[in-house]
Structure 1
C-alpha cells in the first residue's frame, strides 16, 4: 500500500511553523545584565561611547588579533571598557557575525545597563563602566547543564580525564621551572 503524500502547502505550513521555533531556541546564548553599577541614560555620553565600541567590534577594519578584542572609549565618568573573544577555531567572518548577534542581543536584553556580558557558542562580549582589563574575575558566571549523554563507560572516562589532568599538571610544572631558570 502506498503512503499518502503530504501536499506541498502542508510542507510550507510546517516550515513556517518550525523555523521560528528553531531560531528562538538558541541553546548556546546566555547573558547577564549586571545591575550594580546602575544604568546609563538615553543619548548620554556613556551610550555614545558604548555604541562606538560596538561599531569598532563589528567593523571589518578592526584588526582580527586572533579573535581577541580589548577596547575602551571615552573619559571618566562615561568611559566604557569592553572585551570580546571569539573561539580560536572560527574564521573572522564567523567571529564578526557572532559579535554582531551577541551585541544585538545584549542591547535587547540589557538596555541601559552599564555592565553586561553575553556568551554565545562562538564568542563572548563584555562591557563595563570600570577597567576590567587584566583582572581575574569569577563572576558573572553562566553554568549550563549538559544536554549531552553520559559517558558510556564512566570508569574509562574518569581514567582518561585523570591522565589528561596529570599530563597538564606536569606540563605546567615543567613550564614554571623553565621560567624560573630563565629569570635566575
Structure 2
C-alpha cells in the first residue's frame, strides 16, 4: 500500500511542477532520449524503487547541480541506479526545474522501461537496472553538424576554441574566439582524467566529422562538446538565448516556482507519513 502511495505522490509532484516551468525556456528543449528494451512489471518492487529514485533526483536538484543514487532492493533484480547533471552555468532554480521537467517526461518517453536516458538543453538524466555510475562511456549518443561554411578564418577560430576546451580544466568548460563559441561538459561521476579523456574524444570527433560546418554537437555517454558561430542553446551565453525584455520577470518567476517546488517536496514527506499512518489505522483495525 505504501508503495502505491509513494508512486501517487510522485506523480502528483511531477504533474504539478510541470506547470511551473515556462514552456518557452530553452533550458527544457529536447536534444535526445533513449530507453532500454527490457521492461519491468507494473506494481513490482522495481517500480517502487524507481519511483524512490526519481523522487530523490528531483529533491536533490533543489540544492545540487549533480548527484547520483543507488536504490537497493530485496533482490539484485530490484536495484536501480540513477543520476542527473545540470549544465554548469544554470542557477539552482533553473537546475531544479529542468530536472523536474526531465523526470516528468522520461516516464512518457520510456514507459515501464528498466532504463532511460534524457538530455535536455539544461540537464541530463539517466537511470538503469545495471550500474553505470563511475564508468567512463565514450559511445556516441548524438552527432550533429551544421551546414558547411568553408571559410578559412572561421575554421581557424573554431579550431582555437576547441583547443581551448581541450586544454581547459574542470568538468564544465566554455570558450569563445570572435563569433565562434564552444562548450564542453562531463557528467560528475567521472574522475578528472576520465573527463579529460572523454572531452578529448568528443572534440576529436567534432574536428573530424564536422570538418567545415558552421556548428557541431557531439554527445557521448558521459560528456559532450559543442561549438557554433553564435550561441549554443544558452550553454555559452545565457543572455543571448532569451528576450532582452522581461528578463527580470522571468527570473522572478523561476525563483517563485523554485520556492513552490521546495514547499511541495517538504509537503510530500508529510503526506506520506500522514497517509501511511491513516492507512495503518484503517487496515490494521479491520484485521483485528
Residue in 2 that maps onto 1:160: 157
Residue in 1 that maps onto 2:70: 72
- Distance across 2 between alignment mates of 1:171 and 1:106: 32
> What secondary structure sits across from 2:81 in the alignment?
strand
Shift of 1:104: 1.2
Which is higher, the Rg of structure 1 or of structure 2? 1
Answer with 161-170 or 45-54: which moved more.
Answer: 161-170
Which consecutive residues of structure 1, in runs of 5 or more, have no partner in the other structure?
A: 1-21, 177-184
CA offsets, 1:84-110, max 9 Å, x none? 000111111111111111111110111
Asked whether 1:90 is paired with 2:90, we answer yes
TM-score by length of 2: 0.44
Aligned counterparts, 1:27-42, within 5 A: 28-35=30-37, 38-42=38-42
Shift of 1:166: 4.3
- Distance across 2 between alignment mates of 1:133 and 1:94: 24
**Distance verdict in 2 for CA 1:40–1:140, change over 3 Å:** farther
Residue in 2 that maps onto 1:143: 143
Which consecutive residues of structure 2, in runs of 5 or more, have no partner in the other structure?
A: 1-22, 170-192, 194-288
Contact 2:61–2:95 (CA under 8 A) maintained in structure 1: no
- Distance across 2 between alignment mates of 1:108 and 1:53: 16
**Distance verdict in 2 for CA 1:28–1:150, change over 3 Å:** farther
- Distance across 1 between alignment mates of 2:79 and 2:141: 24
CA offsets, 1:46-94, max 9 Å, x none? 11111101111112x66733x1111110232210000100011111111
Answer with 158-167 or 41-50: which moved more.
Answer: 158-167
CA offsets, 1:96-145, max 9 Å, x none? 11111111111011111001100111001000001111111234613345
Contact 1:70–1:83 (CA under 8 A) maintained in structure 2: yes
**Distance verdict in 2 for CA 1:92–1:79, change over 3 Å:** same
Contact 1:32–1:140 (CA under 8 A) maintained in structure 2: no
- Distance across 1 between alignment mates of 2:32 and 2:87: 16
Residue in 2 that maps onto 1:108: 108
CA offsets, 1:31-58, max 9 Å, x none? 11121xx111111111111110111111
Contact 1:49–1:79 (CA under 8 A) maintained in structure 2: yes
TM-score by length of 1: 0.66
Query: Superposition RMSD on alpha carbons, in Å?
Result: 2.9
> What secondary structure sits across from 1:142 in the alignment?
strand
